[in-house]
Chain A
């Protein structure tokens, strides 16, 4: 049972480059989420998705793009990376509506450094 996996786990890039962080889940969960974790801020929601082809902005969406063509995948793209996007990124998923009470299941995180 692979659960939810993120790749890459570690990435170093340069300002202005495009970066894509991948997230894959094997539970057929409807909901998927991207959070970033920064010291002093806890976890902040970037984007989320209720189902394939349905996405919505969270608290800090600027500079990020998401897509969800398949239920199991939810990639996060930084179109032109900035130093302020240096962070640890977590993908999470949740039960189908009506099938649970909403706890999220998290991946192991992707640590991104933008030089």
Chain B
């Protein structure tokens, strides 16, 4: 069955430094991969997705993600972190059936210190 793992509960980074939030996945076919961000007391907001094509996907708010098929990873990155990027980040993979449901990782809390 398909699954997603986010190995870090929390990532700490200084403002202005690059950040990486890790995600690995397991699917039997071609993966449809997503990143979402959640601010306190809010719903999840879509950041970016990988369907096919270039391994480097660009998304909202300056975020990008690198798809690596051999390592089954889809890490979220940003060249220069902002304090306002502090939030909860979720990686997700689309289900292998035709239901459009997403399977989410457990989430990684990003803390950007000034």
B34 touches A41 (CB 8 A): no
Checking A44, A56, A103, A109 against B46 with a beta-carbon cut-off of 8 angstroms, the contacting residue is A103
In the complex, chain B residues whose CB is within 8 Å of the CB of A50: 99-100
Checking A42, A101, A103, A107 against B104 with a beta-carbon cut-off of 8 angstroms, the contacting residue is A42
Q: What mask results when residues 62 to 97 of chain A are scored 1 for a CB within 8 Å of chain B, else 0?
A: 000000000000000000000000000010101001
A101 touches B46 (CB 8 A): no
Interface magnitude class on chain A: 20 to 34
How far is it, in angstroms, between the C-alpha of A107 and the C-alpha of B36 when the chains are bound? 13
Q: A43 at interface (Cβ–Cβ under 8 A)?
A: yes
B100 touches A106 (CB 8 A): no
Known: A41-B106, A42-B105. A90 touches B44 (CB 8 A): yes
- The majority secondary structure among interface residues of chain B is loop
B46 touches A48 (CB 8 A): no
Interface magnitude class on chain B: 20 to 34
How far is it, in angstroms, between the C-alpha of A92 and the C-alpha of B105 when the chains are bound? 17
In the complex, chain A residues whose CB is within 8 Å of the CB of B103: 45
How far is it, in angstroms, between the C-alpha of A81 and the C-alpha of B32 when the chains are bound? 35
In the complex, chain B residues whose CB is within 8 Å of the CB of A108: 41-43
Known: A42-B106, A101-B49, A101-B51. A31 touches B43 (CB 8 A): no
A90 touches B43 (CB 8 A): yes
B46 touches A104 (CB 8 A): yes
Min CB distance B86 to A, Å, is 18
How far is it, in angstroms, between the C-alpha of A94 and the C-alpha of B34 when the chains are bound? 13
In the complex, chain B residues whose CB is within 8 Å of the CB of A45: 101-103
Query: Which residues from 98 to 115 on chain A have a C-beta closer than 8 Å to any C-beta of chain B?
Result: 101-109
Question: Which residue in chain B gives the minimum CB-CB distance to A48?
Answer: B101
Checking B34, B99, B106 against A48 with a beta-carbon cut-off of 8 angstroms, the contacting residue is B99
Query: Which residues from 1 to 59 on chain B have a C-beta closer than 8 Å to any C-beta of chain A?
Result: 6, 32, 34, 36, 41-46, 49, 51
